[in-house]
DNA sequence: GTTGGTTGTAAGCGTCTGCTTACAAAAGGT
DNA sequence: ACCTTTTGTAAGCAGACGCTTACAACCAAC
């Protein structure tokens, strides 16, 4: 709220941030193709030409919003927690925009943006990039010689769950209790990744 | 080849079919948004105005291509074979266009079209429709009281596998042996759907 | 051979798209 | 004060988009 600096009226860094935030929200809501640079600029409250000054193109802004944020997050999580963490991140995205503003409310919109943008080269590339990083980590959780395939399958499951829950909004999954979903998925996943830590009982 | 009828040069039914086929292929390759009515008409070898005469709009043509075909196929498969059949259909979609022409080569392009078109209202609606039908069938394979959730999760997995293999083309999964994928997935799925038939050993 | 509905085409309408350009207002250094 | 650089804006370009219209070619019935 209270900024000690005397509030610059022209602030490149601030408008850059505004553009990134607006783009993240819109890409997540509508996907890449259906989001226009004019939409983004309007939501950020700035002129659309600035988008090109700061990011070069719509595509580069999309990369900034999805790939960069996603990668950073992943690298901070230890392998054996990665699946559950990602799964919970996915499930935390409740229906409706929830409390849009606020500090801790910034969720996994990057993944959602990616999910809604499949098909174009845009998302396919960054998707593969992110996917390979995730898969590599998950593959350390099994000694089977088809570790890569197993981790890809688990990853595919995450994608599908995100798609079904947040985009298609299939009823049973969209409204399900995250705990129950975690339980079912992790139990099945342990068929493939034998080093997954056993689920702890929620409350004794 | 040899048609006993003397080959009409103007044939509404034939051009309708040509439009549907062209649309199916293009929607599958590029998704809804990135496929233009001009592309479709060009591929079908007809004037684009005919698309509107026969289908009313791009959206209605998309519905015809995805929902109708997908539903028809599903209803012909008994429940306990549905998962494996759908999974194999997905996996049969090898990389590259394979042998494009030919009779038996018409594959699950409808699902692929849907997968590449997530985000727009277009695919979300028909996706939910198809999904509910599939889920209802899969739900008969368990007695658990969260049957709906379980079948949604399995369905989500199929979506994710299709996405990862055919759109994102993640390496390990895209190049994997269908048998091995089936084995892994069905074994894990049996954790949730206990009435799934046990896998038979391929060759004794 | 004329008529009348069907099938096909060429051209274009209005709108939206990503992106560029020309220029003004503010900030900062000297 | 002056000048340069940074930050912002208004206007518009060229192309693509979904869709419509006006009209020609074909075919069957009479």
pLDDT tens-digit profile, chain A (204 residues): 444 445 567 789 999 999 999 999 999 888 899 999 999 999 999 999 999 999 999 999 998 888 777 777 777 777 777 778 777 877 775 444 443 433 333 456 777 787 777 666 666 667 777 778 888 888 989 999 999 999 999 989 988 888 888 777 888 988 888 889 999 999 999 999 988 787 665 554
Task: Judge if the beta carbon of B75 is closer than 7 A to nucleic acid strand D.
Answer: no
Give A 166-185 residues with CB within 8 A of chain B: 167-173, 176, 180-181, 184-185
- B189/B183 Cα distance (integer angstroms): 10
**Nearest to residue A132, comparing CAs of A67, A80, A202, A183?**
A67
The pLDDT of residue B29 is above 80? yes
pLDDT score at A202: 55
Give Cα separations from B11 to A80, B7, B8, B37 (angstroms). Answer: 62, 9, 6, 20
Return the number of CB contacts < 8 Å for A and B. 176
pLDDT number for residue B61: 94
B42: which 2 tokens? 């060009």
Topology adopted by domain B12-94+105-189:
Tetracycline Repressor; domain 2 (1.10.357)
For chain A, the structural domain boundaries read 12-96+106-189
Contact A118/B119, CB-based, under 8 Å? yes
Query: Percent of chain B at pLDDT above 90?
Result: 36
Of B34-38, B52-56, B112-116, the range with the lowest mean pLDDT is: B112-116
Among the listed ranges A63-72, B58-67, B139-148, B188-197, which one has the minimum average pLDDT value? A63-72
Compute the C-alpha angle B32/A42/A33, nearest 5°.
15
**Mean of pLDDT values over B45-71:** 90
- How far, in Å, is the CA of A127 from the C1' of nucleotide D2? 53
Two tokens, residue B194 = 């206990």
The encoded tokens of residue A118 equal 């499949």
The pair of structure tokens assigned to A127 is: 């998707």
Confidence check: pLDDT of B153 > 50: yes
Provide CATH code, domain A12-96+106-189. Answer: 1.10.357.10
Q: Closest Cα to residue A17, out of A86, A69, A59?
A: A69
Mean pLDDT of chain B: 80
> Nearest nucleotide to B9 by CA–C1' distance?
D26
- The mean pLDDT value for B63-87 works out to 76
Kindly report, residue by residue over B168-178, the tens digit of the pLDDT: 788 888 888 88
Q: What is the pLDDT of residue B19?
A: 96
Tokens at B65, concatenated: 């291509």
**Where does the pLDDT of residue B90 fall: very low under 50, low under 70, confident under 90, or very high at 90 and above?**
confident
Determine contact, residues A169/A95, Cβ cutoff 8 Å.
Answer: yes
Q: How far is CA A54 from CA A14, A72, B54, B191, in A?
A: 12, 21, 46, 50
Residue A203: the pLDDT is 54
At residue B53, the pLDDT reads 96
Taking the C1' atom of D25, which residue's CA lies nearest? B10
Cα separation values, A165 from A90, B153, B199, Å: 8, 10, 29
- CA distances B169 to A48, A58, A156, Å, are 34, 24, 11
- Would you state the pLDDT for residue B106? 46
What pLDDT band is residue B129 in, cutting at 50, 70 and 90? confident
By C-alpha distance, the chain A residue nearest B129 is A170
Distance (Å, whole) CA B146 – CA A20: 40
Q: Is B50 exposed, middle or buried (0-12, 13-18, 19+ CB in 10 A)?
A: middle
Which pLDDT score is estimated for B107?
A: 53
Å: B8 CA to D19 C1': 29
Helix boundaries (H) for B97-199:
109-115, 121-138, 147-162, 171-174, 178-189
- Alpha-carbon distance A47 to B110, whole Å? 41
Contact B118 A120 (CB under 8 A): no
H-helix or E-strand spanning residue B165? none
């Amino acid at each position: 709220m209270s900024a000690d600096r005397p509030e610059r009226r022209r602030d490149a860094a601030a408008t850059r941030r505004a553009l990134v935030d607006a783009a993240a929200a819109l890409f997540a809501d509508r996907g890449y193709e259906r989001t226009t640079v004019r939409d983004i600029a309007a939501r950020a409250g700035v002129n659309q030409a600035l988008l090109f000054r700061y990011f070069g193109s719509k595509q580069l802004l999309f990369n900034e919003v999805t790939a960069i944020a996603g990668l950073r997050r992943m690298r901070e999580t230890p392998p054996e927690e990665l699946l559950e963490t990602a799964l919970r991140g996915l499930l935390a995205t409740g229906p409706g925009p929830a409390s849009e503003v606020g500090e801790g409310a910034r969720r996994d919109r990057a993944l959602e943006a990616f999910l809604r943008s499949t098909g174009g080269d845009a998302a396919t590339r960054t998707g593969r990039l992110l996917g390979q990083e995730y898969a590599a980590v998950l593959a350390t959780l099994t000694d089977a010689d088809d570790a890569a395939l197993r981790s890809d399958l688990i990853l595919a499951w995450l994608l599908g769950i995100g798609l079904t829950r947040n985009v298609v909004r299939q009823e049973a999954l969209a409204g399900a209790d995250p705990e129950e979903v975690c339980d079912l998925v992790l139990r099945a996943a342990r068929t493939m990744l034998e080093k997954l830590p056993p689920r702890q009982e929620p409350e004794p």
